[in-house]
Structure 1
Amino acid sequence: MSAQYHIPDPPSDAISSLRFSPSGTKLAVSSWDRTVSIYLHTPDADQPFVRETGIQCRAPVLDVCWGPDEETLFAVGLDQDVRVLKNAGDEQEVLSTHEAAANKVIYSHEHGLLISTSWDGIMHVHRPASKQYVRVKLPTKPFALSLTSTRLVVAMAKRKLSVYELQSLSMLVDQTGGSSDREDVLEVAPWQQRESSLKFQTRALTCMPDGTGFATSSIEGRVGVEWFDPEAQKNSYAFRCHRQTQTSPAPANADGATEQGETEVDLIYPVNALAFHPTHGSFATGGGDGAVALWDTQMKRRIRQYGKLGPSVAAVDFSSDGKFLAIGISPGFEDGFEEKEPDPTQVKIVLRQLAENEAKGKAAK
């Protein structure tokens, strides 16, 4: 049976990312209020997650991910540092420092690698266990990261997508000894270099659970689904979503007189967040319209859409067992009020407890 909850004690400023731990018993939420909040799963049926602690950082945190165990987190932010947070933040250490704000971070359990990117156009490939890392030059400014057990996908400006083999990146760190000289920036040819199927700036990226492909989303209310294999890539597709139709008075004619009647206007919202369900292979989208929808990857159709949850969806993530969908709600500034201070009451963490087949697509007739 499905249910929906609001997790108490959300951050006081806009949410930048949220991630379930590998076991699904913890939820880490990063925010512009300079904290990484950790929420713990409880047996309470009325409130399945409660805030365990808040880790204070030096600057707004732009992304967070879990490390090799349930007590290790990695975070990046406006202070340019790639930081490891252990034991609820009692232990903090800087692993590397970018030349500009560090915007994305992700950890590969299979290879023991931590990858971070920055607006400086440089990717850091770390081996946290040995505190070694190398700098890799990217074709242009990065916007999103995702990985499979064997590959890393980087979405960038100018519609560029680079796919790297994680084994090759792992060997690179080992062979170079993890040079951390700021002048030593390596040119590494990706396994694949392609152009996004979407015409506008990439906002989010997520890889399929089976490792065969990925989905991207854009600021222009579209999602693209692609595969790595050239043969399967023929099945790639894109679709429009997170749009609303609004009626408004008819515009004035050439003489300046207002015409009778109304016109329909499409309101297009960015698709800020993507996440694949770990078992069903369907995926969730979160948009600037404050809504979340579930999509059937193979049948190319919407499974269901949840009602408006708030001003804008900033992040989504499924737990590893697929039973929970966490949704970060924040002011998204789609209304044009970028200069205003965010209203803390609009910052929420919504938890959707999914019914057994709620995220499962329907078989073709």
Structure 2
Amino acid sequence: MLSTETPKDYEVPQPPTDGISCLAFSPVADYLAVSSWDNNVRIYEVNVAAGNATGKAIYSHEKPALCCAWSKDGSKVFSGGADNAGRCFDTTTQQSTQIAVHDQPIRCIKYVDQANLVATGSWDKTIKYWDMRSPSPVLTVGLPERCYAMDVIYPLMVVGTADRHVQIYNLGHPSTPYKTNQSPLKFQTRCISCFPSGNGYAIGSIEGRVGIQYIEEKDNNTSFSFKCHRDGNNVYSVNAISFHPIYGTFSTAGSDGTYNFWDKDSKQRLKGFNSVGAPISATTFNRNGTIFTYAASYDWSKGYLQYPSTNKNAIFLHAVKDDDVKPKPAKKSTR
């Protein structure tokens, strides 16, 4: 059993005042976008070396903000919310404009830079693609159920919906799924993250399991699932999976307040950390993988009736040690 350590991480000042739904780093600089149930999207400038983070901008939805993402050049932040609207914030002009609309809340938003389009996934059972210069979607694609999770590594897009459906798209042909799968996990999908290599994805469920899925089962790539975020008989939701941008290893974080680093290729945990004292609702690495950021806040896994009266909403910056995220050789069998 690998040892765990208690994280000693930097806490970002002036965090959101309600649950944190999504974290996203700019692809060109250490700017962090944070969407929250307090209806706002905040942007912080992060400097782990100096041990600080500074709020740089804030803009609002009319209802909880559920997701956020950056443009490739780092000049724009996109977000979707329970107000059924997708918004674009221009970091140069500091202005926010509406660029998308759905019939139900927008749960997921991604920028497809190769097409200069914004993709939105909604509880109205559609994905829509938006050219920001037009009020109408370029393309609307139906889903079998409500969109719960979505990730893009061009040309791969993977969407997880209610009832454990998984839709896999080749964005060269976005109007029809390349494959339609059922989740390998028996319980509700909570998160999806594409491999940096673009040949598969990791999927997490509410029942403390992660599935490693290859799009094509070949070249000795074999899909598998494993248990995590469990403590005795207690089983916790896997809320977030983030891949390291350099090494291709990944993190999981859950309702138990812990996060771990894993190597899918050698099928082992690289590093574990003790609970931060609240559920971890969202995670992300910065562009070069030197900063791992996570949000400690209520994740709604026990419903609104269990909302804690002493709820904490915090964002932490963890300085990543190379040895904790570098791939390791597979362990030799003891058989």
Q: Do the two structures share a fold, i.e. TM-score over 0.5?
A: yes
* Identity over aligned pairs, percent: 31
Taking the aligned partners of 1:267 and 1:114, their CA distance within structure 2 comes to 39
Is 1:243 aligned with 2:230? yes
The alpha-carbon deviation at position 340 of structure 1 amounts to 5.8
Gap change, CA 1:147 and 1:28, over 3 Å in 2: same
**How high is the TM-score relative to the length of structure 1?**
0.83
Q: Which residue of 2 aligns with 1:111?
A: 115
Q: Which residue of 2 aligns with 1:353?
A: 319
The 4+ residue runs of structure 1 with deviation greater than 4 A are: 129-132, 340-345
Q: For structure 1, which segment, 90-99 or 4-13, has the greater mean C-alpha deviation from structure 2 after superposition?
A: 90-99
Deviations 1:146-201 (A, max 9, x none): 011211111112221111111223xxxxxxxxxxxxxxxxxx42111111111111
- Asked whether the equivalents of residues 13 and 342 of structure 1 are also in contact (C-alpha less than 8 Å), the reply is no
Q: How many residues align?
A: 324
**Which of these residues, 116, 122, 135, is aligned with residue 126 of structure 2?**
122
Taking the aligned partners of 1:232 and 1:24, their CA distance within structure 2 comes to 36
**Which of these residues, 129, 140, 154, is aligned with residue 149 of structure 1?**
154
Is 1:162 aligned with 2:167? yes
The alpha-carbon deviation at position 338 of structure 1 amounts to 2.3
**How high is the TM-score relative to the length of structure 2?**
0.91
Is 1:23 aligned with 2:28? yes
- Asked whether the equivalents of residues 160 and 196 of structure 1 are also in contact (C-alpha less than 8 Å), the reply is yes
Is 1:330 aligned with 2:297? yes
Runs (5+) with no aligned partner, structure 2? 1-6
Taking the aligned partners of 1:43 and 1:18, their CA distance within structure 2 comes to 16
- Asked whether the equivalents of residues 48 and 319 of structure 2 are also in contact (C-alpha less than 8 Å), the reply is no
Q: Which residue of 1 aligns with 2:185?
A: 198
Taking the aligned partners of 1:44 and 1:191, their CA distance within structure 2 comes to 43
Gap change, CA 1:341 and 1:239, over 3 Å in 2: closer
Q: For structure 1, which segment, 340-349 or 69-78, has the greater mean C-alpha deviation from structure 2 after superposition?
A: 340-349
The alpha-carbon deviation at position 128 of structure 1 amounts to 2.4
Taking the aligned partners of 1:214 and 1:359, their CA distance within structure 2 comes to 18
The alpha-carbon deviation at position 112 of structure 1 amounts to 1.5
Taking the aligned partners of 1:301 and 1:42, their CA distance within structure 2 comes to 31
Task: Select the structure of larger CA radius of gyration.
Answer: 1
Taking the aligned partners of 1:129 and 1:360, their CA distance within structure 2 comes to 42
Runs (5+) with no aligned partner, structure 1? 170-187, 246-265
Gap change, CA 1:239 and 1:89, over 3 Å in 2: farther
Is 1:221 aligned with 2:187? no
The alpha-carbon deviation at position 42 of structure 1 amounts to 3.5
- Asked whether the equivalents of residues 48 and 317 of structure 2 are also in contact (C-alpha less than 8 Å), the reply is no
Gap change, CA 1:35 and 1:305, over 3 Å in 2: same
The alpha-carbon deviation at position 97 of structure 1 amounts to 1.3
The alpha-carbon deviation at position 59 of structure 1 amounts to 1.3
